Structure 1
Amino acid sequence: MNKVNKLKIFNDPIYGFITIPNSLIFDLIAHKYFQRLRRISQMGMTYLVYPGAHHTRFHHAMGSMHLMQKAVNVLRFKGVDISQEEEDALLIAILLHDIGHGPFSHAMEHSIVTGVSHEAISLLFMERLNQEFNGSLTLAIQVFKGEYHRNFMCQLISSQLDMDRADYLKRDSFYTGVAEGNINAERLITMLNVVDDELVVEEKGIYSVEKFLVARRLMYWQVYLHKTSVVAEQLLMRVLKRAKELSNKGVDLKASSALTYFLKNDINKSNFTIDTLDVFAHLDDYDIVSAMKEWQYHDDFVLKNICSMIINRDLLKVKLKDKKHKIEDVQAHKERLMKQHHISAEEAGYFVFTGEVSNQAYELKSQNINILSKSGKIKDIVKASDQLNLKALSKPVTKYYICYPKE
């Protein structure tokens, strides 16, 4: 057999060429667990609002790894000692940080699996891969869990200015066409430094950080929490919830074997075993879409109508406002629906519901973004900035929505 060249390059629309640095990372990318990310959309149902948003978790993981390579090079240039083993650990941890995402990224966590986050599943995948790759992911797992003694490395993976956020803001902005999210990731990384084992941004980069935080706020309101995206994701969760209810009652639903397993079994944190992980590894967006295409013709009123809404993009009406919606308004919509279609209050609850969305661009008490001044002083970005809006960005803003069928 011919030897495979493992030092490949990818052509990425955001950064240009992305290089795979070594054969271990090549083998991880080539692994079926990672290749599955090609079939998991990065932004769930957002393509129903922004037609270009069809990029995947695979794109994002590769981009995050590329930015981590740049960050390591910048920090080394500034005299920060990072060994080859530590670099590999950083690249592996960021590459695999989202490997545990289920179909459409978040819908499954809130419907057919109980109390198991995608982070927990990512960790299970990494531990499984560590066995397969003879312990070569041990350090990466430590960094991913935030347990490594060099704190700045953990911050590069997960903090308020990590390589994950740096990639997804720029990438999601590009694929949605929402220019407000287009941050200068390269400049942000170039301004990084380490002081007393903490990640800091040099004073010259303060405006790039300000732009980053404003972009994050705008992307949340304009894209991630767009009311149509919210209602589409809520409907998707309700499809899976209803399918699970029907399966528990013995109703036979056409679905892939992987999806059927999760519909027929109550999976939670305590029984998410290695066998469950193997089944989960076969589950992706395609299972859900093909199931909905079948279920839109099912006898069950709730299941068929919600599936039809998503497939044909004929969604519920959604209203967003600053105050909670009145209970009597919700009840009126429910009663109208019950009377019109002769359905129960429980069934009407699938089509009429309320909820809330919250946006906080910066958390003052959580892994602060610190600015390093020329004098050597370190200040939180809110105190260092002359941009008055930044303090406002650190306060959560909550809006309330109501969803109900169109007249």
Structure 2
Amino acid sequence: MSATNKLKIFNDPIYGFITIPNTLIYDLIQHPYFQRLRRISQMGMSYLVYPGAHHTRFHHAVGCMHIMQKAVQTLRFKGVTISNDEENALYVAILLHDIGHGPFSHAMEHSIVEEVHHEEISLKFMNALNEEFEGKLDLAIQIFKGEYHRKFMLQLISSQLDMDRMDYLKRDSFYSGVAEGNINSDRLIQMMNVQDDALVVEEKGIYSVEKFLVSRRLMYWQAYLHKTSVVAEMTLTKILKRAKELTQKGIVLPCSEPLSFFLNNKITMVSFDEDVLRIFALLDDYDVLGAIKSWQFHSDFVLSSLSKMIINRDLLKIILLDEKADNEKLADYKNKLMALYTISDKEAAYFVFKGKLKNQAYNKESEPISILKKDGTIENLVDSSDQLQVRALSKAVTKYFICFPKVLLDT
């Protein structure tokens, strides 16, 4: 039997050809845990706003690994010592950084897999894979957990200017068609360096960093926090909550076995063991969408109505507000809906609700982006920039919203 050629390349629409650097990376990509990411959308329900936004977390993870290769190459060129083991660990850590995302991740985290964050699940997957690969992921896990002594390595994976953000901004901009999110990741990586074991950006790259932050702010308002994306994700969250509520009352809902398991059980970090991880690894977007297609015909008014909204893209009305929603107005909408459909206050709350959106492109209180000046000193980006917009981008902007059925506009 001929041996498998593991030195493959991907043709990526963002970067061109992406090379798999070694056989371990190939085997990790081929693993069913990672292949599942082909069935997990990167931008959740955003395709209901931007029809092209159907790319997956698989695309994103492989793209992150590719630009990590460029980062390692750049830093080595500038005299930063990175051993072969450290290099490989960086590739593994960035490749697997999102492996814990579930279908429509944020909706899942707020409905049926409560209290367990996707980063914690990613770590569980990495530990399980490490056991299977006989300890070859030890160093990658150390870096991912922030336990490795070389701080800049974690910053490449998780910081305010990491490979994750660089790829998703460029990729999401490309697939959604929101041109304002497009960034020059090549330029940003070329301007990176390491000083006192921390990641820095050389002074001449400061405008590229500013453009990156502006793009991040605009992508949040135009894509991730677009009001239709928000109301679609909120609707999906409420569908899953209602499904869990009905299931736990003993009502059997048609759905796949993995989804049924999470509807029937309350999962916490303590109960999230190896068996739960294996079931979670069988769950993807198709389970959720397949179930919703069935649930639109269910006898429960709430479940069927919400499911039809997603399937037919006939969503709730969402209104953005500068100030907190008026509770009296909300109560008025609820009362009208209860009278119109003879439903309870609790059921009406699935259709009439409020919330808030927060957009902060740069958090100056968190670990800052550091600028390496020509004289060798290091400055916080906010202090180094002569542009007032960086200070503006570091301020959180909050908007409020209310949602209610469009039928109430006619009452």
Q: TM tier, shorter chain?
A: over 0.9
Cα-to-partner distance string for 1:148-194 (whole Å, 9 max, x where unaligned): 10000010010000000000000000000001000000000000000
Q: Secondary structure of 1:269's partner?
A: coil
SS at match of 2:358: strand
Q: Does 1:22 align with 2:18?
A: no
Render the CA deviation track for 1:44-97: whole Å, top value 9, x for unaligned: 000000000000000000000000000000000000000000000000000000
1:100 aligns with 2:84: no
For residues 96-175 of structure 1, the aligned pairs below 5 Å read: 96-175=96-175
| Alpha-carbon distance in 1 for matches of 2:284, 2:333 | 34
Residue 365 of structure 1: CA displacement? 1.6
Code of the residue aligned with 1:33 in structure 2: it is: Y
Establish whether residue 185 from structure 1 lines up as the match of residue 169 from structure 2. no
What's 1:215 paired with?
A: 215
Alpha-carbon distance between aligned partners in 2 of 1:242 and 1:105, rounded to the nearest angstrom: 17
**Corresponding residue for residue 370 of structure 2:** 370
- 164-173 vs 366-375, which moves further: 366-375
1:102-154: CA deviation from partner (whole Å, max 9, x where unpaired): 00122111101121000000000000000000000000001111111000001
Where does residue 283 of structure 1 map in the other structure? 283
Partner residue in 1 for 2:258: 258
CA distance in 1, matches of 2:2, 2:406: 60
Residue 248 of structure 1 is matched in structure 2 by 248
- Aligned amino acid, residue 114 of structure 1: E
Whether 2:384 is the aligned partner of 1:384: answer yes
Percent same amino acid at aligned positions? Answer: 69
Distance 1:107 1:132 in 2: 30
**Aligned residue in 2 for 1:339:** 339
Rounded to whole Å, the distance in 2 between the matches of 1:114 and 1:36 is 21
Amino acid of the structure 2 residue aligned with 1:258? P
Q: In structure 2, what is the Cα distance between the partners aligned to 1:406 and 1:331?
A: 16
Q: Is 1:75 paired with 2:72? A: no
Matching of residue 402 in structure 1 with residue 392 in structure 2: no
* TM-score normalised by the chain length of structure 2: 0.99
Q: CA deviation at 1:406?
A: 0.1
Q: Residue type matched to 2:23 in 1?
A: S
Query: Which residue does the alignment assign to 1:91?
Result: 91
Look up the match of 1:309: 309
Q: Deviations over 1:262-283 (max 9, x none)?
A: 0111111111111000000000
SS at match of 2:406: coil
Distance in 2 (CA, whole Å) between partners of 1:336 and 1:269 is 41
* Partner SS for 2:44: coil
Work out whether residues 244 and 263 of structure 1, in 8 Å CA contact, stay in contact via their aligned partners in 2.
Answer: yes
Quick one: which amino acid aligns to residue 71 of structure 2?
Answer: A
Q: What is the CA–CA distance in structure 1 between the aligned matches of 2:250 and 2:274, rounded to whole Å?
A: 26
Count, aligned residues: 407
1:43·1:105 contact (CA, 8 Å) conserved in 2?
no
2: CA distance, partners of 1:146 / 1:158: 9
Structure 2 unaligned segments of length 5 or more: list them.
none
Q: Secondary structure at the match of 1:400?
A: strand
**Secondary structure in structure 2 of the residue aligned to 1:201:** strand
Give the Å deviation of 1:383. Answer: 1.0
Displacement after TM superposition at 1:382 (Å): 1.1
Counterpart amino acid of residue 296 in structure 1: Q
- Structure 1: stretches of 5+ with no match in the other structure: none
CA distance in 1, matches of 2:365, 2:266: 36
| 1:206-229 Cα shifts (integer Å, max 9, x gaps) | 110000000000000111000100
Q: In the alignment, residue 298 of structure 1 is paired with which amino acid? A: H
* Paired letter, 2:169: L
Question: What residue identity is the alignment partner of 2:223?
Answer: V
Indicate the larger mover: 364-373 or 303-312.
Answer: 364-373
**Which residue pairs with 2:54 in the alignment?**
54
Kindly report the root-mean-square deviation, in angstroms, between the aligned alpha carbons of the 2 structures.
0.5
Distance 1:272 1:249 in 2: 23
The question of whether the paired residues in 2 share the 8 Å contact of 1:14 and 1:171 is answered with yes
TM-score scaled by structure 1? 0.99
AA in 1 matched with 2:124: L
Paired residue secondary structure (1:346): helix
Q: What is the CA–CA distance in structure 2 between the aligned matches of 1:248 and 1:112, rounded to whole Å?
A: 12
Whole-Å separation in 2 of the counterparts to 1:263 and 1:272: 14
Secondary structure of the residue aligned to 2:199 is strand
Equivalents in 1 of 2:78, 2:319: separation in Å?
51
Q: Give the structure 2 partner of residue 274 of structure 1.
A: 274
Q: Does the aligned pair in 2 maintain the 1:114–1:269 contact within 8 Å?
A: no
Counterpart residue identity of residue 86, structure 2: E
- Write the distance in 2 (CA, Å) between the matches of 1:239 and 1:222: 25
AA paired with 2:271?
N
Pairing of 1:315-334 with structure 2 (within 5 A): 315-334=315-334
Q: How many Å separate the matches in 1 of 2:204 and 2:4? A: 44
Q: Residues of 2 paired with 1:2 and 1:330: CA distance?
A: 67
Matched residue type, 1:234: M
